[in-house]
Structure 1
Amino acid sequence: MTLNFNEITDDRKFEDLIISYFEDLKNEKDHKIIDVNVKPSGTGTDGGRDILVTFKVTDTVMTFERRWVVQCKFHSSNISTDKIADINIPTLLHSYNAAGYLLVCREKPTSKLTELFERLEKNCKFENKYSVWSGEQLKRLILVKAQKEILQQYFPSYFNYCVTNNIFSL
């Protein structure tokens, strides 16, 4: 059995998964993240921002913040540029004083979408970052972390399979 997004019923639950993923980062020990502040946009039209994530990071000299605008797309098909065409991403980043834009997809981004993000990053005079995670990348990140609480809450069938087969114990 593999981790499967079919266990997630709708886009709100998918956003909740991403929120849980980022909130859980503050519990990890092997990185330079001191704190993570996660703000969901709430219900209704979000204007391209589902979640605002602010990391407090240290580089041993000083502590600083880095903010990301996160957009979640829980579509059963690949995500193309037309799914984000109504969003002016550079303006969105500026309005939130964010350093980057992360698009998290259930499936895969199209090549045109990844090319758009590459161009935006290359040509950005403010050095903002533009990133996209495919569903497979997200699954790998979740499995590498293997946080039982996240697996149990969002992937109960997979969690039960892992417990039953002694992949991990309670």
Structure 2
Amino acid sequence: MLNFQELPKDGTKFEQLVREILLKKGLRPQWTGVGPDSGRDLLVEEELSSQIKNFKKLWLVDCKHFAISGKTVGVGDITDIRDRCERIGAKGFLLVCSTTVSSELSRKLEEINANTEISTEIWDAVTIEKLLLNPSSYSVAQQFFPASMTSPRWKMFYTEREERWMSHFEGYFLYVESRFGIKPPSLVDLESIIRELENVKLGYDESLRIRAIWHDTPNGPFYSVAADYLVPSENPPAMTPSDIRNQLNDSCVDGGFVTWHIKLQITLPQSDYYSPDDPGYYELFKQPLFHVFYGVGELSEMTDLDKWTNQRPPLIRTFNDQMIWEKNKVKFGYTKMGNLECRVL
């Protein structure tokens, strides 16, 4: 559970949190002037698709941070909704709060939604938590709730399949999946696997970041583990597959066996959008994990050539990102042959 009392009482951090969530949704929020409660409102324009003609809808976002007192947001805390929306041409009103909303205020917003052209929506503390505890927004949760994200050490949430969980452990986000069964594998085993990765000695600014663990349930404590070897684009990797393979113990779980699947992921730490847990790194793992590991490849197989045959280029989000990568890609074996770009192993 996220403890919203980690955010200061004045509400500024909470407003910033809401803005970051909206940005993660691909929206472009903008601050308005100071609202009637001395706080800042947000404006966000949503693009909606239609069979005939696409259109845009402007939302007024009102943020209420009462977590320190535990107070429920009531009718008296939200004033002049229709006037405020009409003044700026907003057709939507989003109330975001760090506690809950009173039944009276909930009814009032429903009446506005039903009887006017203004759509209303509520994000309370539970909704915000759901929005944050997923791959796309995990880095935001780490930024604003550092204490909550480390205690308790394990948080596991069911997904669309009963044998699959979204998991959080001491700042890591990972998918965990069992071949059969609705109970997650041993947390002691999972922690042993993560500690094993943490103990690997790497080059400067390099890291191993776990992404997924698959448990071959019927056969006992047998696991397949996927992790990214994150290497900044300024220098080629300091480690070969065998360098890392020789540091990992296949028997780090009691009475079991671990198969390691390590992928070299080039990164751009200087990018404004960089995060070691970028949602782009998890796209592969949204499908059933049993199939995913064939695509990543076993670390033991790569030691034959001792080359990173599964290397991935960095995520490019801006023109500046592209410029940095163009300058550094030759260090990772990328070259041009005529109009074609290829990689030399």
Partner of 1:82 in structure 2?
76
Alignment partner of 1:54 is 2:45: yes
**Which structure would you say has the larger Rg?**
2
Task: After superposition, give the CA deviation of every residue in 1:20-45 in whole Å (9 maximum; x if it has no partner).
Answer: 0001111xxxxxxxxx2211235xx3
Unaligned ranges ≥5, structure 1: 27-35
Task: After superposition, give the CA deviation of every residue in 1:122-160 in whole Å (9 maximum; x if it has no partner).
Answer: 221xx2112222211221122245523201211112334
Alignment partner of 1:72 is 2:71: no
Partner of 2:170 in structure 1?
164
Partner of 1:5 in structure 2?
4
- Please, which moves more after superposition, 13-22 or 113-122? 113-122
Task: After superposition, give the CA deviation of every residue in 1:85-142 in whole Å (9 maximum; x if it has no partner).
Answer: xx21111111111111111111111110001111112221xx2112222211221122
Partner of 2:25 in structure 1?
25
d(CA) in 2 for partners of 1:71, 1:63? 26
CA RMSD in angstroms, aligned pairs only: 2.2
Alignment partner of 1:63 is 2:57: no
Partner of 2:84 in structure 1?
92
TM-score norm. by structure 1 comes to 0.79
TM-score norm. by structure 2 comes to 0.41
- Detail structure 1 runs of 4+ shifted over 6 Å in the superposition: none
Q: In the alignment, residue 70 of structure 1 is paired with which amino acid?
A: V
Sequence identity of aligned pairs in percent? Answer: 25
8 Å CA contact retained: 1:69, 1:102 = yes
Distance 1:17 1:92, change over 3 A: same
8 Å CA contact retained: 2:149, 2:171 = no
Task: After superposition, give the CA deviation of every residue in 1:57-80 in whole Å (9 maximum; x if it has no partner).
Answer: 333653321110010110131011
Distance 1:166 1:54, change over 3 A: closer
The 3-state SS of whatever aligns with 1:156 is: coil
Alignment partner of 1:121 is 2:113: yes
The 3-state SS of whatever aligns with 2:35 is: coil
Higher strand share: 2
Alignment partner of 1:150 is 2:140: yes
d(CA) in 2 for partners of 1:96, 1:63? 21
Unaligned ranges ≥5, structure 2: 154-167, 175-209, 211-275, 277-345
d(CA) in 2 for partners of 1:134, 1:66? 22
